[in-house]
């Protein structure tokens, strides 16, 4: 169990971008986010995966904004600049309630939801259980039937180094071991937004360690998500990293059987973090899909 007093003392590193907006989510949790584009344009909400932040969507948000959309990227509770839950509640239900609160702040108009992994689960449950009225859904490397080995690998990465890191170089090496396919950045400065510093001077990941304490029954999760997938009636796109170890081809076909009208795209040379691995391909695919299914007037892009 993480020491609440110790983790409460962790602070943002200099150079971490300030969030553009904040919202009050469920249980009074303050949510942070960034917005791009015309507030009167189609609302597109971008939801990151577990252990990620809103910054994963920066390039996608800018692309959508240049094409006339109002793009909003959230830090999920317990992640990035959003507040940590006082009770350690990082359930899907809590995150759906957070999303409902954010959508309500925009007048409750239907939104396009683009969700990666954890964010995709939030989106799928919110729509599939009738809690959120959306105009389109893009799921990024997440399906009801995921691969347990891939999920285990992600959790193992997130659980490593509970004692923290001494330098940014140590952080960069840990990421390189986890994502060997990624080109190493020339500068370590881009890492600061993913970290927090403690009074002992060591660096820690930005998320609440209690997020990892939840246990997940994959079979129960499958039943819930598959029921949600069967109920989808809105335009739906599944984007999978062709090298993903979390979503297999069998998982894709299972989802397409549950939701026959869904479109599907594999992104070559991408793993689970599709938008980060191939943001150029992902951004174009998302935009092409939205142009075909929504009444969008292109003003740029």
State pLDDT tens for residues 89-110.
Answer: 999 999 999 999 999 999 989 9
pLDDT value of position 177? 87
- Residue 301 falls inside a structural domain: no
Whether residue 42 is contained in a domain is answered as yes
73-85 residue pLDDT tens: 999 999 999 999 9
Q: Is residue 300, in this structure, part of any structural domain at all?
A: no
Residue 165 is classified by DSSP as B
- Number of structural domains found in the chain: 1
Judge whether 298 lies within some domain: no
Q: Is residue 299 part of a domain?
A: no
Structural contact between residues 98 and 25, judged by C-beta atoms closer than 8 angstroms: yes
How many angstroms separate the CA atoms of 263 and 159, rounded?
Answer: 34
Alpha helices by DSSP H, 141-209: 148-159, 168-178
The label of the residue with tokens 């259980």 reads 129
Report the CATH number at residue 258: 3.40.50.1820
Q: Whole domain around residue 253: which residue ranges? A: 4-293
Of 34-43, 181-190, 240-249, least confident by mean pLDDT is 181-190
Is residue 32 within 8 A of residue 74, CB to CB? The reply is: yes
* pLDDT over 80 at 72, yes or no: yes
Phi-psi category of residue 56: left, alpha or beta, with phi > 0 → left and psi -120 to 50 → alpha: alpha
Six token digits for residue 171: 């952080």
Q: In sequence order, what E strands does the chain have?
A: 11-12, 21-24, 30-37, 43-47, 70-74, 111-116, 134-140, 195-197, 203-205, 236-241, 263-267
- Angstrom distances, CA of residue 143 to CA of 225, 250, 292: 8, 10, 23
Least confident of 8-17, 24-33, 106-115, 169-178: 8-17
CB within 8 Å of 298: residues ≥ 6 apart: 67, 68, 291
Residue 84 located in a structural domain: yes
Q: Is residue 85 part of a domain?
A: yes
Task: Tell me the pLDDT tens digit for each residue of 155-209.
Answer: 888 888 889 999 999 999 998 888 776 676 667 888 899 999 998 889 999 999 9
Q: CB burial class (10 A; 0-12, 13-18, 19+) of residue 171?
A: buried
Q: Under 8 Å CB-to-CB from 28, ≥6 apart: which residues?
A: none
Question: What are 117-128's pLDDT values in tens digits?
Answer: 999 999 999 999
Please give the average per-residue pLDDT across 201-219, as a whole number.
Answer: 87
∠ CA 80-81-82, rounded to 5°:
95
Residues present in the chain in total: 301
């Amino acid at each position: 169990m993480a020491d609440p007093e110790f983790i409460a003392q962790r602070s943002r590193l200099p150079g971490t971008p300030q969030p553009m907006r904040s919202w009050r989510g469920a249980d009074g949790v303050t949510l942070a986010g960034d917005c791009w584009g015309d507030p009167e344009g189609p609302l597109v909400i971008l939801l990151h995966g577990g252990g990620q932040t809103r910054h994963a969507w920066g390039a996608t948000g800018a692309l959508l904004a240049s094409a006339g959309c109002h793009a909003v990227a959230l830090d999920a509770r317990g992640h990035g600049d959003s507040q940590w839950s006082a009770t350690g509640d990082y359930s899907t239900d809590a995150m759906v309630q957070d999303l409902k609160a954010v959508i309500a702040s925009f007048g409750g108009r239907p939104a396009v939801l683009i969700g990666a992994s954890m964010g995709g689960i939030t989106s799928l449950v919110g729509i599939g259980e009738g809690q959120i009225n959306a105009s389109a859904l893009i799921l990024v490397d997440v399906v009801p039937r995921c691969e347990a080995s891939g999920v285990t690998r992600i959790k193992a990465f997130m659980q490593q180094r509970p004692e923290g890191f001494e330098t940014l170089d140590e952080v960069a090496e840990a990421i390189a071991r986890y994502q060997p396919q990624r080109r190493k950045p020339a500068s370590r400065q881009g890492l600061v937004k993913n970290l927090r510093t403690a009074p002992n001077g060591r660096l820690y990941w930005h998320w609440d360690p209690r997020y990892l304490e939840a246990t997940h029954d994959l079979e129960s999760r499958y039943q819930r998500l598959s029921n949600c997938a069967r109920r989808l009636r809105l335009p739906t796109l599944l984007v999978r990293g062709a090298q993903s170890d979390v979503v297999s081809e069998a998982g894709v076909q299972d989802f397409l059987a549950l939701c026959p009208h869904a479109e599907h795209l594999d992104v070559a040379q991408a793993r689970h973090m599709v938008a980060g691995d191939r943001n150029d391909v992902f951004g174009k695919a998302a935009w092409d899909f939205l142009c075909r299914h929504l009444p969008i007037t292109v003003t740029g892009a």
